[in-house]
Structure 1
């Protein structure tokens, strides 16, 4: 684990396990810890000034989120998908996220829709991959945020976590035309939601996810061990 992979918070106040989990999560989301990276408890404990107990709790929490894989008596790694596994996750997302949007759409407020439009516009002016991914996630999670579901919302969030490194790879692989279509789809989702066209918004979300899956399938090298 490189010195820059995990940033040590300036303060040790608060719950140590939450603090450690947040640091690891941030490193994964920003691409500092690649899929398959080994997470050594002693290194994490030293970096965060924490004991082994909160480190273990943090890793278990991240496993529940789908970001970390724990193997009994072996250790912990940043979760990694094979190409076929990634296709399965994306096909699941293609079907579940339109349904989650259907639950959420009628409850989205005018303020929510204004925020979605602002996020869609802001994404078009960012060249930084990390910032784009942050805005993109904020956009989609906001669009789903009004859904009152028993398990669907949590499941979708876990699927997003599992594909986080591959969303980054897709963004870096996308050419100018693909990026333009991506931005257009964000705006189309907002327009459909404003018009009360939930089915149109669902179709656009499904197409949005499908495009990512198809591009990643053309780049199997993304799934090779680093």
Structure 2
């Protein structure tokens, strides 16, 4: 199958920088599920007008990290256990297929990007840095989705799995079920399979990762 062009990184705007900063804080647990993100406070913090702040919050909403309620503004997404398990079920169906596509369509440039991102993830895990671990893990999965060549599937996973990182990771953190060495081994295996373009093996490994995460959550 022909390799697809690797997405080119864009220059970051205020909007992008604000969204990136808030995403890292949400995924790392600094902003817990249900906590409010007050637009006025954010404009003061980042020293910008309300426009890039509002746009950044809209981007985070599209990534499944925040939700907006009329007359209440934005809050970090807060899902019930039933909702988290429903998202896990969706992930089990969709993400292995997307990983398979990425393995089959991977370009040399895409392979280099995956190696670099995996190195950042492994470094965070090796140093027991939990906030960076969650952030770099999400970036690794997000890059896999983007390299699949199917932007619709990538968007769906962005919204769904983003919510897992905002809420489900908090559950895993509280239960103490994150094992850094185990996570490094699983993601090493996934990376090797993608790099050798073994879509079936990569899909099976991703499914095992997704199952392990779901099993780490309390039952509804």
* Residues paired across the two proteins, number: 205
Q: Which runs of 4+ in 1 moved over 6 A?
A: none
Q: 2:193·2:202 contact (CA, 8 Å) conserved in 1?
A: yes
Q: Partner residue of 1:102?
A: 100
Asked if structure 1 preserves the Cα contact closer than 8 Å seen for 2:120 and 2:136, the reply is yes
Distance 2:86 2:98 in 1: 18
Where does 1:29-178 land on structure 2 (aligned, <5 Å)?
29-108=27-106, 109=108, 111=112, 114-115=115-116, 118=119, 121-122=122-123, 124-165=125-166, 166-171=168-173, 173-175=175-177, 178=179
Contact 1:133-1:168 within 8 A present in 2 as well: no
Aligned to 1:4: none
Q: Distance in 2 between matches of 1:159 and 1:172?
A: 21
1:186 matched to 2:198? The reply is: no
Is the aligned partner of 1:25 residue 2:23? yes
1:70 aligned counterpart, secondary structure = strand
CA RMSD of aligned residues (A): 2.8
Q: Which runs of 5+ in 1 are unaligned?
A: 1-13, 221-226
Q: Is the 8 A contact 1:193 1:201 kept in 2?
A: yes
Deviation at 1:23, TM superposition (A): 3.4
CA distance in 2, matches of 1:16, 1:123: 26
CA distance, structure 2, for counterparts of residue 67 and residue 103 of structure 1: 25
Preserved CA contact (<8 Å) 2:24 2:135 = no
The TM-score with structure 2 as length reference comes to 0.77
SS at match of 1:217: coil
Using the TM superposition, give the Cα deviation of residue 139 of structure 1 relative to its aligned residue in structure 2, in angstroms. 3.0
TM-score between the two structures when normalised by the length of structure 1 = 0.75
Greater relative contact order structure (CA < 8 Å, 6+ sep): 2
The answer to which of 111-120 and 30-39 deviates more is 111-120
After alignment, is 44-53 or 100-109 more displaced? Answer: 44-53
Q: 1:72 to 1:147 in 2, by over 3 A?
A: same
Instruction: Output the CA distance in 2 between the equivalents of 1:192 and 1:56.
Output: 40
Larger radius of gyration: 1
